[in-house]
Amino acid sequence: MSVRVRFAPSPTGFLHIGNVHTALFNWLFARHEGGESRLRIENTDTSREVAEATEQIQESLRWLGLDWDGELTFQLDRMERCREEAQRLLDEGHAYEDEGAIRIRMPDEGVTGWTDLIRGHIEYPNDKLEDLVAVRADGRPTYNFASPIEDWLDGITHVLRGEDHISNTPKQIRILEALGAPLPEYGHLANILGDDGRKLSKRHGDVTVEEFRADGYIPEALFNFLALLGWSYDDKTTVMSREELVERFTLDRVGASPAVFDYAKLDWLNGVYLRALPLDEYANRLVTYLREQGYDWDEELVRRAAPLVQEKIATLREFPAFAGFLFARPEATAVDGAVLPAAADALGAVEPFESDRIEAALRELAERLGLKPRDAFQPIRLAVTGSSVSPGLFESLELLGKEESLARIAGSGRGGPSGSSAR
């Protein structure tokens, strides 16, 4: 039988990165095995909030590159079938009525066991299994009844989910056995921890795909990073494409111990992916990101600035702080010394105002003033960028243009108020 897995989130808001990790491992396993990966929304109503959350879930998966096979399905669509199956179990003596609800009889003795795809053999004492409510008095099926029925009806062969579900698995096995349905294989992924050793949550900052996207991470890097949380190909390979991950992913290399979400490693990996992009693609990503974040900046200038920042920043979010001076004049800062007036004279004579000619003029200026280039260039950098750290000075001056560059140098020389927008 071909592999068929499912990712079944609840539509309770933005998709948590832990759930995305589960979706990714299901997807990688299915694609490696040449099987199918399904998407099911475990909803119990059709409110506007559910509809919005459902769209957010799909958009998060699409952005990350996790497609799914077949139609999107909803738990709500199977409610009537669940009630029918509960009535069948009631008629066959596997269930009984209790204050209007239908409960499934659970065994009192022995154990319920399974060979977990990640953790090996697991046994659960049956005397700890309470008779499970299958359908509530109001007619609504419970999660632990509806979910395994859907797995059965959808032909799910492997259920890969978080370790929080380990206690649900023996209940669901017993339900499927009572229904006479085939059992899928179960595997339970370890939790993801923050750097404080606690389960990843809002206290750690970014927890949804939308937040990582807003913080300037690109999907290829996040995809690669998440794949390495709890799985490894070997002890040295880190950067892997989607195709390489699909080819190499096997469940026997998935660990049962929690993985730590290392933000420093994600930053590094994101920088690796950004630097590897062709320049045109890098500029496209930058333009798209800035537009998404509400920056109404000159697109052509953004594209011209892209080569200056590609090797310098690890996330797209760093661009406004690093190169924002190109789009709005920074606060003028009084700079001591005689460099700025002399720099204004030297730059005023540069024609055409291009980076190589600018560099030659400023290096000649430094030599004439008897200064090391670094000491001569720093006050100019402060005057035009407002920071001691910026993209290349000569290229930045070219992008600003002669008029704006000289205006900033003059303003800093006077220590006066900031001027108008640069563009």
Tokens read off for 411: 């303003």
**Cβ–Cβ < 8 Å for 121, 112:** no
Cα–Cα dist 307/326, whole Å: 14
Where are any strands of DSSP class E within 361-404? Answer: none
Amino acid at 226: L
Active site residue 171: no
Cα–Cα dist 412/334, whole Å: 5
Q: Which helix (H) or strand (E) holds 113?
A: strand 111-116
**Phi and psi at residue 336, to the nearest 5°:** -75, 160
Cα–Cα dist 225/222, whole Å: 5
CA-angle at 161, arms to 160 and 164, nearest 5°: 145
**Cβ–Cβ < 8 Å for 182, 176:** yes
Helix then strand then coil, in percent of the chain rounded to 5, is 50, 15, 35
Mark 327-353 as b/e (b = at least 16 C-beta within 10 Å): bebbebeebeeebbebbbebbeebeeb
Active-site residue (options: 128, 171, 199, 202): 202
List, by residue number, the catalytic residues.
Answer: 202
